[in-house]
Structure 1
Amino acid sequence: MATTSDKIIVCAYHNVGYRCITELLRQGAEIALIFSHEDSAGEQIWFESVRELAGRHGIPCLTSEINAPENVERVRELAPDFLFSFYYRSMIKPEVLEIPRKGALNLHGSYLPKYRGRVPVNWAVINGETETGATLHYMVEKPDAGEIVDQERVPILFTDTAQDVFHKVTDAAVEVLSRSWPLLREEKAARVPMDLSAGSYFGGRKPADGRIDWSRSAVEIYNLVRGVTHPYPGAFAHLDGRKVTVWSARPMEGNGEPGCIMSLDPLVVGTGKGLLELRSLQVEGEEELAGNRIELANTAHFD
């Protein structure tokens, strides 16, 4: 069990935050304070609440930024041994990272140094990767660049959506933390320098980034669709001036002009290479329907 000297402050949100805090508590860790976020009104909340978890365990939880001057001072006064970040959405300033006596660590949703930066799971699916992972590493000023403590790989199946992969990565994150926490407490955990030249950095994504480019291959468009489908904003195109979100698709062999509707049942569209069956669609302002049930006007082409 952790001793009273192993005082922790946690910055956390989403399922990764919920599950990792649960694992620390399972191992008897002393969490003195949690920083989290207010839920965004424009976001589909499909994940567990860190704030509710903190409340059930009587742990103080703040949704104001840890970088705010009054919170930096509060962290100093608590003098934690560790600071953990589990899916916290703000970059933590160096002045905060320097406070914990035994280090500040982050659990990142990729097999670092690949996919440093924002929304790594979505990017991995969009780029057609066949595996990703979870990495526990020390935090430094540069994002996702500090020494690696432990990692776990997870497979990405061709049929996986980003949410499927996110669940796998969350399980891997908990596994990594469960192995690492006892070693961190004893100051015996690995500290492997990260070779940034062997990896990549990706920025965040906006809903507008989901626009389909029909000149891309069917597989590339399919990867975009499954990388941003529910509960994310979705990939979209325009038909008869209406925005149409594609929630599910399937690449097929064949040829057709990019964006051109090749058949109605099933609904198949040409791409830069191959064909794409649109299996589930949603015209803006209407309900989601199977592709072959969408009513088409006098057009035979997606923009």
Structure 2
Amino acid sequence: MTQTPTTAVVFAYHNVGVRSIKTLLARGVQIKLVVTHEDNPAETIWFDSVAALCKEHGIETITPADPKNPELSARIAEIAPDFIFSFYYRHMLPVDLLALAKRGAYNLHGSLLPKYRGRVPVNWAVLHGETETGATLHEMAAKPDAGAIIAQTAVPILPDDTAYEIFGKLTVAAEQTLWHALPRLIDGSFVALPNNLAAGSYFGGRKPEDGRIDWNQTANLVYNLHRAVAPPYPGAFFEQFGHHFIIEKARLSDLSAANLPTGLHVVDNVIFGVCGDGRALRIIELRCDGKIVSAEELRQLTDTAT
């Protein structure tokens, strides 16, 4: 007797979307439709393309601006998929759309729920100095990242990891989570765990302006901000000497800088950012008005400014 294939409609974007679609295909799931985003020309596209992957596999792809579009709901109702999956799709899906999946609707989120529900969880976790995060597969509900938990995979956040590096780990963790959970989802043997929202946290999106450095803060706080928004994100920035600076790469320093005012300094031909607690960041790569500057070039700027 031939087994009826498991079908899915997938909402996906970014690297996690690409790897998760590949995982569904490897598990024999028949993807009837993929909903993704048009790339924003104002955004730095450093991640893989869901649309390109789907073209390669002959999967139909559409890019509606709003998932609440009645035509989209009608199309999914016509498909009548077993599952709906969301893999780093950037919009909340309406409850009436989720109900169109005969066997459930599930999302992959980039944190260990219930912590860091909401937007850009990787950046928030690094900003707050967390030492661990992970990927969570959960049921979708009316509230963001609030449904029951199906599976989780943890990854470490090392002291010098940037959000970009953590995102690479989470892409693998998401793939592993989905790979191990899919057989139980397909045969119905999975056991959902409660997602205790009261024990977690919720955060909204971040804007480039949120990357502004306050050198009066402690070195740990400034360093975490740098790691959270380091390239390919917009970067931690500040103004000094009449110029706009972005830190491209830095490390915490052992320099005792209690005798120096806060902000940029060149000491022994090394650039430091002195913080409010007398500690400093050793700035390995610094951009000034759009151009990378050396310690000597920065010294000339400071001499000119003074």
1:223 matches 2:224:
yes
Is residue 20 from structure 1 mapped to residue 20 from structure 2 by the alignment?
yes
Distance 2:60 2:8 in 1: 12
CA contact (8 A) 2:266 2:295 kept: no
Q: 1:290 to 1:163 in 2, by over 3 A?
A: farther
* Cα distance change on mapping 1:240 and 1:300 into 2, 3 Å: closer
Q: 2:37 matched to which residue of 1? A: 37
Q: CA offsets per residue over residues 95-116 of structure 1, 9 Å max, x none? A: 1111101111000001111111
- Residue identity (%): 47
Aligned residue identity for 1:58: G
Q: For residues 1-303 of structure 1, what are the structure 2 equivalents within 5 Å?
A: 3-64=3-64, 65-253=66-254, 254=256, 255=258, 256-259=260-263, 261=265, 263=267, 265-273=269-277, 274-285=279-290, 287-291=291-295, 293-294=297-298, 295-298=300-303
1:153 and 1:131 map into 2 onto residues whose CA distance is 7
AA at the equivalent of 1:93: P
Aligned residue pairs total 299
* SS of residue in 1 equivalent to 2:302: coil
Shift of 1:66: 2.6
- What's the TM-score, normalizing by structure 1? 0.94
In structure 1, distance between residues paired with 2:3 and 2:32? 13
Q: How big is the shift at 1:51?
A: 0.3
Cα distance in structure 2, aligned partners of 1:189 and 1:257 = 58
1:186, 1:31 → 2: CA distance?
A: 17
Q: Secondary structure in 2 aligned to 1:297?
A: helix
Q: What is the DSSP-based 3-state SS (H/G/I as helix, E as strand, rest coil) of the residue aligned with 1:174? A: helix
In the TM superposition, what is the alpha-carbon distance from 1:297 to its structure 2 partner?
3.3
Secondary structure of the equivalent of 1:179?
helix
Query: In the alignment, residue 265 of structure 1 is paired with which amino acid?
Result: N
In the superposition, relative to structure 1, how do residues 113 and 292 fare at CA in structure 2: closer, same or farther (>3 Å)?
farther
Q: What SS is found at the alignment partner of 2:154?
A: strand
Residue 296 of structure 1 aligns to a residue whose secondary structure is helix
AA aligned to 1:144 is D
TM-score by length of 2: 0.93
User: Structure 2 regions of 5+ residues with no counterpart?
Assistant: none
In the TM superposition, what is the alpha-carbon distance from 1:47 to its structure 2 partner?
1.1
Q: Is the 8 A contact 1:267 1:292 kept in 2?
A: no
**Unaligned 5+ residue runs, structure 1?**
none
Instruction: Return the offset for 1:207.
Output: 0.6
